[in-house]
Amino acid sequence: MAIMRLWHGRVPIAKADKYQQFMIDRAAPDYGSVEGLLKLYFQRRDEGAAAHFLLVTIWESIPYRG
């Protein structure tokens, strides 16, 4: 059974473009390097003075952290 993880972040709109680029350049590749990741979805929604970011990851299973 696959595991879906949702992450939501919010930043001031003035910092949104820079944060989006960080997510593309750094965060997504970092997630991609973790064994067990099946899929990653990333979305940005601007709303007034804030930008909302949603990161959805699909994993093979819950990783063991013994």
Give tens-digit pLDDT for 7-65.
999 999 999 999 999 999 999 999 989 989 999 999 999 999 999 999 999 999 766 66
Looking at residue 64, what is its pLDDT?
A: 64
30 in any annotated domain: yes
Contacts of 48 (CB under 8 A, 6+ apart): 13
41 in any annotated domain: yes
15 in any annotated domain: yes
27 in any annotated domain: yes
66 in any annotated domain: no
Q: Is the pLDDT of residue 66 over 90?
A: no
64 in any annotated domain: no
Number of domains the chain contains: 1
pTM: 0.81
Looking at residue 22, what is its pLDDT?
A: 95
Containing domain of residue 35, as a range? 3-59
